[in-house]
Structure 1
Amino acid sequence: MKFAVIVALMCVLSPPVSADSGTRHTNIKCEIQDESFAEVNVCRLKILGRGIIGANVHLKIKKLPVKTVKVNFSVWKKLSGYHPFLFNTTVDLCHNIKHPNPSNVFYYFYGALKPFLNVNHSCPINHDLILKDFVLDDMMFSLVPVPKGNYMFDIKLWANGAWRATIFSYLDIKVDKTL
């Protein structure tokens, strides 16, 4: 009897869960502009569990060490095609790792990636770049609430003064309620 009462209370008190709530990766593409500098070993999504999709990227760097890295990060929203949305910012990755700035949107982007990324130190970088099993979470969008929709993150990487790679990450944001 107690179990039935507890289940009934949980059903009444918990917020409704719809099939289209949540965030998820839908696609990922990696392009190398300078194949003498780097190559893509892995660029794919992987199903980690029921409804859990992880992004995996492994860029093999052929010319080490990488002394300077700049990242251009832009968000695009799908309307009738992809259109610029919210921000387009370029940051010096080496400087931002050494001197984090919470007033820069890149601070939150890098903070979400950091547990899944092997770049957690400043320059020079003497190894491959690996993003392993990066899973989107609804809480990632609680500080910057965005409307439901399909989005593309366009991430351009400059290394040692030249544009080397672009990563396109496609995702659906279907958060019903922002916190």
Structure 2
Amino acid sequence: MKALIISAIFIGCVFIIAVHSKADFTNIKCIDFDKTLMYFDICLLKSVNRTYKYLTVRAQYPRHEPINNITVNFAMHRKVNGYKPFLYNITIDACQYLEKRNNPVIRYAHKFFEKYSTLNKSCPYGESYEMADKVPISYVTDVLPFPHGDYAYSVAFYYYKKKAGVITVYVTIS
């Protein structure tokens, strides 16, 4: 009888406990290393009111020939006496990923801005711009709960093994 009561309490606690987090954009930084490969003409964090913020990024590709060799590095950092690596630091071939969508961690990061972006087609990328417009924060904690704290999500782009640019998004989860 006692074991039945303890197991009922345990099962009740499992179903009652829910993790709810509130995420908030705090900053965005876009750095272009080689303006002949890529440069950011819009890198904006917009606060509509106290509770709603969104980000917009637009990258221009000034090259006249198409780019077929794109490598992307996705890294998560948590602020503990400076930003330290946290959970993931993954480098992938972006062209291969956009064809197959076979990496679950990168798929999670890509779904964060997929509906708001033009970065959905496979290679080649050419003389045009790609944009993520008015990306809200809601997806970050809806899918995967994180511990409270300050985080930095960094995405580095390499074209033909040459670093072209980095986008770093800073988020506070409370």
Same fold (TM over 0.5): yes
Letter in 2 for 1:124: P
**Secondary structure of 1:37's match?**
coil
Distance (Å, rounded) in 2 between the aligned partners of 1:90 and 1:97:
14
Aligned match of 1:38: 38
Percent identity reads 26
Decide whether the 8 Å contact of 2:73 with 2:90 is kept in 1.
yes
Corresponding position of 1:131: 132
1:38 Cα shift? 2.1
Structure 2 unpaired stretches of 5+ = 1-20
User: Number of aligned pairs?
Assistant: 153
AA of the residue aligned to 2:117: L
> What is the CA deviation profile of residues 80-128 of structure 1, one whole-angstrom value per residue up to 9, with x for unaligned ones?
1111101100111111111012x53001111221111111110001321
Alignment partners' CA distance in 1, 2:75 and 2:165: 14
SS at match of 1:42: strand
Contact 2:37 2:159 in 1 (8 A): no
- The reply to whether residue 53 of structure 1 matches residue 78 of structure 2 is no
Task: Indicate the residue corresponding to 1:153 in structure 2.
Answer: 153
Residue 113 (structure 2) aligns with? 113
Shift of 1:25: 0.8
Equivalent pair of 2:39/2:165 in contact (CA under 8 Å): no
User: In 2, distance between residues paired with 1:34 and 1:160?
Assistant: 12
CA distance in 2, matches of 1:53, 1:142: 16
| 1:61 counterpart letter in structure 2 | Y
What residue identity is the alignment partner of 1:113?
A: F
- Give the TM-score taking structure 2 as reference length: 0.81
4+ residue runs over 6 A deviation:
none
RMSD between aligned residues? 1.8
SS in 1 for 2:63: coil
User: How far apart in 1 are the matches of 2:33 and 2:56?
Assistant: 19
Which residue does 1:22 correspond to in 2? 22
Question: By how many angstroms is 1:50 displaced?
Answer: 4.6
**1:52 aligned partner, one-letter code:** Y
